[in-house]
Chains A and B, each alone.
Chain A
Amino acid sequence: MPSNRILIAAVLGLCLAGTALAQPRLGRVATPDEIAKQDITIGPDGATLPPGAGSVADGLAVYEANCKSCHGDKGAGGPMDRLTGGIGSLTSGTPVKTVASYWPYATTIFDYVRRAMPYPAPQSLTSDEIYAVIAYLLSIDKIVPEDAVLSEKTLAQVRMPNRDGFISYYPKPPR
């Protein structure tokens, strides 16, 4: 009997080893070039921001040409989302959530505008145009000054008014 048990244990061991070896491992190693082409995400640290720069004045022209028809004059909204104003309204009875009043990071604007805007032609704006239009939008609520030039070096340093307004409920709500 003991020898049988040893045999069974040996067979089980082989089976388990077989399972581990059966992992297909069929993925092809990605090249740095293909990763660079696909990695369009901009995190809050701005580490992956592309080189470029844009001023408030340049941004006004970009906004008028690409954004105004949906987001209204000076980002006041209509027919689509309002982008400006509403700062200080979040604790009121009628909170107004805009890019200016609600979004915690300016880097998110770059990430989102570059991948998804303008709606009829996403991914059609240059990096310079995107820095410029962010500078223009943020200047409306004086988050950046009138003479601001935003770039890959300065965008992540912009402090949005609602920077500390979010509480992570993952993995659990705070006590």
Chain B
Amino acid sequence: MDGSDKRAMRRLESELGEPVAGGGLLHRRAFLRGGVAFAGAVTVAAKVNSAAAAPTIGAESPLSMTRPGKLFTGYGVPARSEEGVRRLFALVANREGAGTSRTPWHMLNGSITPSGLHFERHHNGVPDVDASRHTLLIHGLVKRPLVFTLATLQRYPMETRIHFIECAGNSGALTRPDPAQDTVGGLHGLLSCSEWTGVPVSVLLDEAGIDPRGKWVLAEGADAAGMSRSVPLAKLQDDAMIALYQNGEAVRPEQGYPMRLLLPGYEGNINVKWLRRLKVTEGPMHTRDETSKYTELMPDGKARQFTLPLGPKSVITHPSYGMKIQGPGYYEISGIAWSGAGRVRTVEVSADGGVSWATAALAQPVISKAVTRFRLPWRWSGQMTTLLSRAIDETGDIQPLRKPWMEQYAPGQGFHYNAMQLWAVDPLGNVKNTYA
């Protein structure tokens, strides 16, 4: 740091206050306190810009202000320069259509995922479902087996709620022995958050009339894998929804058009897409995707089954792998936090490898079983450091460190990973994935 850097640092310090934790973390409201000073700086810059004289103001304006813009479009698309913001692919070898695409969280901000960037996990491609012929059958241990069409469901009272969906295999790369050098999207992009609108499942189950012996419900999709899962009846009677709309428009084909089972907070796979059937049963059916997959083998050789709600989790998206911090000074550390158990109560951030922690500001409102954006001002000294975050949910559950998470399971298990993500920052400002 030369003399002018030090002076700039001291000026920032007087404007933003003393750090509240190691590594240069500032109080979560420091930016608001320093607001006046920043506004002043902007005014000065504007004056400098208007120095040259011109016959018309057009000569001094950007081209966009001097000619009419483009015409209207039937369906808008992102700006031209955002063409690189795309889902990230990690397809299963030899099996196109049975892999994943991931939400590029490191290229986004806020907490809602644009529908076209919602992650995908298909087991045999995206089916082309004819909505006018598609039906939902509710049968099994019910008094009246019933059939619903999309048109009938659209006549029911609906609910609108914001919820995340996270694949049970999300972040599984972090169970590998060496830290994978990949972006937030590549590592944690099997998570997305949308506003969902649809019919509460409980209303339809009431209409069918549940036999008291019924305790589980087999849910099945109309895709080429016939994806099916056993769902606890109690969850369907609680906050489950037949989702018909996603972010205001019909659910996208990749997300289950024309109808998807939404089980807030439960692992992604059980949120069955292209839902065609609900069968009420006494016990679970032990389908392939609740035995062979999405179960976690423990060191004693036994496997956990029906570990459905996802644990508290957070990850810093800015800065993160692939970004280069442009020299010492002020930055905003920002990221996302969520929990399958309810609301995120607190997110804590450390800029000294977990030695000290500061509480981040949470974007309001904090919604149960939804992605919450967190932010914290940070003054980077230019020295090597490690950034990490941990989420604590409203049940008091705390996001674990990687080591205790790994110790719960047998080697090679990658489902339901929710340990803390550490980012190592080197003196050049490069950010890398690290385990310690």
Which A residues are within 8 Å of any B CB, using their own CB?
A: 22-30, 34-35, 38-44, 70, 79-80, 90-91, 93-95, 97, 99, 102-105, 107-108, 111-112, 115-116, 119, 122-123, 165-171, 173
Mark each residue of chain B from 276 to 310: 1 if its CB lies under 8 Å from any CB of chain A, else 0.
Answer: 11010101111110011001010111111111100
Q: List the B side residues contacting A90 at CB < 8 Å.
A: 297, 301, 303, 410
On whether the beta carbons of A119 and B98 are closer than 8 Å, the reply is yes
Known: A24-B155, A169-B306. A39 touches B139 (CB 8 A): yes
Give 7 pairs: A residue, B residue, CB < 8 Å, sorted on A.
A24-B157, A30-B139, A41-B218, A43-B286, A91-B300, A103-B288, A169-B306
On whether the beta carbons of B208 and A27 are closer than 8 Å, the reply is yes
Known: A102-B292, A165-B301, A170-B306. A23 touches B147 (CB 8 A): no
Q: List the B side residues contacting A30 at CB < 8 Å.
A: 137-139, 145-147
Q: List the B side residues contacting A35 at CB < 8 Å.
A: 137, 139, 145
CA distance A94 to B277 in the complex (A): 38
On whether the beta carbons of B302 and A166 are closer than 8 Å, the reply is yes
Mark each residue of chain B from 173 to 201: 1 if its CB lies under 8 Å from any CB of chain A, else 0.
Answer: 00000000000000000000000000000
Q: List the B side residues contacting A104 at CB < 8 Å.
A: 286, 291
Known: A79-B93, A116-B226. A26 touches B286 (CB 8 A): no
On whether the beta carbons of B226 and A122 are closer than 8 Å, the reply is yes
On whether the beta carbons of B228 and A80 are closer than 8 Å, the reply is no
Q: List the A side residues contacting B302 at CB < 8 Å.
A: 165-167
On whether the beta carbons of A168 and B306 are closer than 8 Å, the reply is yes
A167 in complex: contacting residue of B228, B277, B305, CB < 8 Å: B305
Which B residues are within 8 Å of any A CB, using their own CB?
A: 93-95, 98, 123-124, 137-139, 144-148, 152, 155-157, 203-204, 206-208, 218, 220, 224-226, 228, 232, 234, 276-277, 279, 281, 283-288, 291-292, 295, 297, 299-308, 410-412
A86 to chain B, nearest CB (A): 11
Known: A80-B95, A105-B286, A169-B304. A38 touches B146 (CB 8 A): no
A41 in complex: contacting residue of B145, B228, B303, B308, CB < 8 Å: B228
On whether the beta carbons of A103 and B411 are closer than 8 Å, the reply is no
CA distance A97 to B81 in the complex (A): 46
- 4 new A-B contacts at CB < 8 Å, known A27-B144, A116-B123, A122-B225: A104-B291, A165-B302, A166-B303, A167-B302
CA distance A6 to B178 in the complex (A): 73
CA distance A116 to B411 in the complex (A): 29
On whether the beta carbons of B146 and A27 are closer than 8 Å, the reply is yes
A108 to chain B, nearest CB (A): 5
Interface of B is mostly: loop
B332 to chain A, nearest CB (A): 38
A119 in complex: contacting residue of B95, B277, B286, CB < 8 Å: B95
CA distance A169 to B303 in the complex (A): 10
- Ranked nearest first, the 6 interchain pairs of A and B with the lowest CB-CB distance are A27-B146, A115-B226, A91-B301, A170-B306, A112-B288, A30-B145
CA distance A22 to B203 in the complex (A): 11
B304 in complex: contacting residue of A39, A97, A167, CB < 8 Å: A167
Query: Which residue in chain B gives the minimum CB-CB distance to A105?
Result: B286
Query: Which residue in chain A gives the minimum CB-CB distance to B306?
Result: A170
CA distance A90 to B413 in the complex (A): 12
On whether the beta carbons of B285 and A28 are closer than 8 Å, the reply is no
CA distance A35 to B301 in the complex (A): 39
Q: List the A side residues contacting B224 at CB < 8 Å.
A: 116, 122
CA distance A80 to B145 in the complex (A): 39
Q: List the A side residues contacting B297 at CB < 8 Å.
A: 90, 95, 97
Q: List the B side residues contacting A34 at CB < 8 Å.
A: 137, 147
On whether the beta carbons of B124 and A119 are closer than 8 Å, the reply is yes
On whether the beta carbons of B138 and A27 are closer than 8 Å, the reply is yes
Q: List the B side residues contacting A22 at CB < 8 Å.
A: 157
On whether the beta carbons of B152 and A27 are closer than 8 Å, the reply is yes
Q: List the A side residues contacting B284 at CB < 8 Å.
A: 168
Q: List the B side residues contacting A39 at CB < 8 Å.
A: 139, 277, 279
Q: List the A side residues contacting B139 at CB < 8 Å.
A: 30, 35, 39
Known: A97-B297, A169-B307. A43 touches B147 (CB 8 A): no
Query: Which residue in chain B gives the minimum CB-CB distance to A22?
Result: B157
Q: List the B side residues contacting A170 at CB < 8 Å.
A: 232, 305-308
On whether the beta carbons of A167 and B303 are closer than 8 Å, the reply is yes
A40 in complex: contacting residue of B146, B226, B291, B299, CB < 8 Å: B226
CA distance A140 to B276 in the complex (A): 36
Known: A43-B285, A167-B305. A27 touches B207 (CB 8 A): yes
Known: A111-B288, A116-B225. A38 touches B303 (CB 8 A): no
On whether the beta carbons of B303 and A165 are closer than 8 Å, the reply is yes
On whether the beta carbons of B204 and A27 are closer than 8 Å, the reply is yes
Known: A97-B292, A104-B286, A112-B287. A41 touches B411 (CB 8 A): no
Query: Which residue in chain B gives the minimum CB-CB distance to A90?
Result: B301
Q: List the B side residues contacting A116 at CB < 8 Å.
A: 123-124, 224-226, 288
A166 in complex: contacting residue of B220, B300, B305, CB < 8 Å: B305
CA distance A105 to B290 in the complex (A): 12
B70 to chain A, nearest CB (A): 44
Query: Which residue in chain A gives the minimum CB-CB distance to B276?
Result: A38
On whether the beta carbons of A23 and B285 are closer than 8 Å, the reply is no
B261 to chain A, nearest CB (A): 15
CA distance A114 to B35 in the complex (A): 64
